[in-house]
Amino acid sequence: MSEEEEAVAEAEEIIRNQRIFLNHLDSYCGRNIGKYLSNAIVGASLDEIAEEEEEEDEGRSAAEVLPPKPKEGLYQIVGTLSQATDKKPDFAVEAYSTTSRDELLARMLECDIIIYNITEDAKQTEEATWAATVLNEESVNFEKQKVFILLSTIMTWARSKPLDPDDPEIPFTEEDYRRRKHHPNFIEHTNAEKTIIKLGKNNKSKFATYVVASGLQYGAEERLLHYFFKLSWLGEVPMIPIFGDGRNFIPAIHIVDLAAVLQNVADHRPRTHYIIAVDESIHTLGEIVRSISKNVGPGKTQKIPKDSAFLNKDLTQAHLDELLVNLRMEAVILKETFNIKWVSQGGIVENIEQIVNEYKQSRGLLPIKMCVLGPPGVGKTSIAEQLCKHYKVHHIKIKEVITKAIENLEKIIAPKDIPETILEEEEEEEEEEEAEEGDNIEEAQELLDAVKENMEQNAGRIDDQYVIRFMRETLTSMPCRNQGYVLDGFPKTYELAKDLFNLEEEEEEDDSRGKIHHFDKVITPDFIVSLNAPDEFLKNRIMNLPESVVAGTHYAQDRYLRALSLFRELNTEDETVLNYFDEIEMHPQHIDVSKFEGLENSVIVREIIKNVGEPRNYGLTDEELEEFERKQAEERLAREAKEKADLEKKEADERAQKLANWEEWNKRLDEVKRQEQELLEAQSIPLRNYLMKHVMPTLMQGLNQCCMVRPDDPVDFLAEYLFKNNPEFD
């Protein structure tokens, strides 16, 4: 075998069946980098560059020629877990929770590439340094080269002085890494970088080391920027905070692009051992936060002092240090040497829509859009309120939408008194926003005048065109796009549904499928609930409502009957609102409310929840969770106290009942004895009278004779005397 063939074979062997060790597989970086690398083909990043530089490779030695396309094989990912209780990620072949360094070393020796991430946990810097040191000591026994990659942070450059004081816009590159000055809180990271670079120089053929200085990582479920994304998504504050003046430049990189950088390092093994990993954007903190606020939140931002930012309990000191860094950096090696299929080459601001979609998908923050329809009095509003409470979505009622829209128009045209000092301090972007708002004042005034005039002409009602416009603005607002909504009884007709949800006015005819609607998927509900009940049931329900509830509402007898009749007329036509949803393949869930007569609406709500599924939001906040647990504890104590009181009451009632029964039994027993005595006495009167009249006189005479005669046998004498002198025989 020639020298060139041996070099190619050796190179191919190096990049085939690679096993990668990655610490903290369950962290933000570990999850996303590990998942990416587990689906990456070994040596795939070499393909395009090998083709592009084919001509340049001519004349170079065999050792300098890049390896040919390898046989396809995926990287095998193994590593440690930050929490021993966490489960092994699906993408990992093995996951270790051991704390024994001897065992950890044995695991790393089984791997071809070792990646240590120290950007999330500063405690890992010491372990990373130890790992590189012991691997370097073992390198004499390596059969083939192992690669150690330290994933560090650009915070080791945070206090670097500008390359040219007269031109601070000149960015730092890998060539300047010896001039870098670290942030005071990241000295351990700098020491780790220096140690690992030095260790890689001892035995390059057996043990190569690289340092990848990562910019602020974003994308997927987000890490540092998650604070701003969550605050914007929840919509609980009118403005998203910007720490400081927001003019500091933050080098950043998408987490998937960072994983691609690591893949390129593993495949290319470049000559430069210090690599900057940032995208091509030059964005300030203010630009990033404003972009997030505009695309996820209220669209407005507010600057707060840095000192106030440090009081934020959701961000650590290290997080704030990274958010407040001010650096301009350029990744030259990424451009000139690596083959990266960028996800976000232009940065977060340029790719914000894609980043927002990733964030929502990764976090499971998908809106729940529902529409509850049905006749008046069927319980739409109360059921919609319970659904909104369960899913934490917004209750959309047509009257409130119109009222709020008019109030917003009045706010836009209302004069604003802004101090001149504040105007002077506004940045160009904020001034542009104010100028844009100023341009809208005239349009808002025109629309408000038209709406008020229309209401005057229609006795307080407005035409459908304005209703559709206001409703569309509501459904496209950030709160509805983020969390979702429950439409309460709207739209009422086929035409209103078509005007509200369709993207195009015209319809295409299809003989096989009927009408085809090009509807707006952003605002169209995903779940339709059709509540219904017989007219008699609904009339009886309304009749049983308290007068205080009915007075002045459409539940008044004459108004209700007209509303119910109108609803039935609208829903007996060929084109009903339910037909529209059927045509766009949004088939309604039909519920007969009369079947649940006597039961609470919560039973119906549970039926709907079974069809819709679980909530898709952050769940309870810490405060809400604490309140929920407190209420549960109170309810449990109250339930136990009630059960105990009920048991004691039951026992007391049983004792009282037993005592009352005993007393009653004794009274009845005495009464029975009295009655028996009276009966016996009553039955003995005739016999007594007979004895007194016919027996006692003769008996007295016989006793007298017996006393006088004194016979030997008085009894026999007395018996004979009574027999002889019996009056019945006289």
- The confidence score (pLDDT) of residue 281 equals 93
Nearest residue to 608 via CA among 412, 428, 437, 385: 385
> Length of the chain, please?
730
- The confidence score (pLDDT) of residue 421 equals 40
- The confidence score (pLDDT) of residue 135 equals 94
Mean of the pLDDT values across residues 283-306?
A: 93
Local confidence band at 624 (pLDDT 50, 70, 90 cut-offs): low
Six token digits for residue 513: 């499928």
- The confidence score (pLDDT) of residue 293 equals 95
Q: Comparing 17-21, 76-80, 242-246, 491-495, which segment has the lowest mean pLDDT?
A: 17-21
Strands 301-304 and 508-510: unpaired
Report percent pLDDT > 90 for the chain. Answer: 49
pLDDT digits (tens, 9 = 90+) for 506-533: 444 444 445 667 889 999 999 999 999 9
Local confidence band at 432 (pLDDT 50, 70, 90 cut-offs): low
- The confidence score (pLDDT) of residue 37 equals 94
Report percent pLDDT > 70 for the chain. Answer: 86
Local confidence band at 423 (pLDDT 50, 70, 90 cut-offs): very low
Catalogue all structural domains in the chain, each as residue range(s) with its CATH number. 12-45+71-363 (3.40.50.720), 368-416+434-504+517-612 (3.40.50.300), 622-724 (1.20.890.10)
- The confidence score (pLDDT) of residue 425 equals 39
- 3-state DSSP assignment of residue 249: strand
Number of CB atoms found within 10 A of residue 500's CB: 22
- Decide: residue 121, CB within 10 A, 0-12 exposed, 13-18 middle, 19+ buried: middle
- The confidence score (pLDDT) of residue 436 equals 54
Number of CB atoms found within 10 A of residue 229's CB: 24
Q: Is the pLDDT of residue 67 over 50?
A: no
- 3-state DSSP assignment of residue 164: coil
Distance CA 535, CA 467 (A): 29
Q: Is the pLDDT of residue 431 over 80?
A: no
Residue whose entry in the numeric block shows the structure tokens 């914000």? 352
Q: Is the pLDDT of residue 709 over 80?
A: yes
What value does the mean pLDDT of the chain take? 84
Local confidence band at 665 (pLDDT 50, 70, 90 cut-offs): confident
Q: Is the pLDDT of residue 257 over 90?
A: yes
Local confidence band at 503 (pLDDT 50, 70, 90 cut-offs): confident
Taking a C-beta distance cutoff of 8 angstroms, is the pair 19, 113 a contact?
A: yes
Mean of the pLDDT values across residues 366-373?
A: 94
Distance CA 316, CA 311 (A): 9
- Decide: residue 167, CB within 10 A, 0-12 exposed, 13-18 middle, 19+ buried: exposed
- The confidence score (pLDDT) of residue 204 equals 86
Spatial CB neighbours of 6, under 8 Å, sequence gap ≥ 6: 62
Mean of the pLDDT values across residues 283-308?
A: 93
Distance CA 704, CA 126 (A): 137
- The confidence score (pLDDT) of residue 82 equals 86
Where residue 360 falls (left for φ over 0; alpha for ψ -120 to 50; beta otherwise) is alpha
Phi, psi (degrees; rounded to nearest 5) at 277: -115, 90
DSSP lists the bridge partners of residue 253 as 217
Local confidence band at 413 (pLDDT 50, 70, 90 cut-offs): confident
Within 13 Å of residue 310, how many CA atoms lie on the same side as its CB?
7
Mean of the pLDDT values across residues 2-30?
A: 70
Q: Is the pLDDT of residue 15 over 50?
A: no
Q: Comparing 38-52, 363-377, 446-460, which segment has the lowest mean pLDDT?
A: 38-52
pLDDT digits (tens, 9 = 90+) for 595-608: 887 667 888 999 99
The structure's pTM equals 0.77
pLDDT digits (tens, 9 = 90+) for 448-476: 888 888 888 888 889 999 999 999 999 99
Spatial CB neighbours of 86, under 8 Å, sequence gap ≥ 6: 26
> What does 27-46 look like in DSSP terms, one character per residue?
SHHHHHHHHHHHTSBTTGGG
Angle at 501 between CA 497 and CA 502, to 5 degrees: 105
Q: Is the pLDDT of residue 619 over 60?
A: yes
* Strand stretches in 490-588, DSSP E: 508-510, 514-516, 527-532
DSSP lists the bridge partners of residue 212 as 151, 275
Mean of the pLDDT values across residues 706-717?
A: 86
pLDDT digits (tens, 9 = 90+) for 81-107: 988 888 889 999 999 886 688 999 999
Number of CB atoms found within 10 A of residue 364's CB: 12
Question: Is the Cα torsion angle 113, 339, 362, 298 positive or negative in sign?
Answer: positive
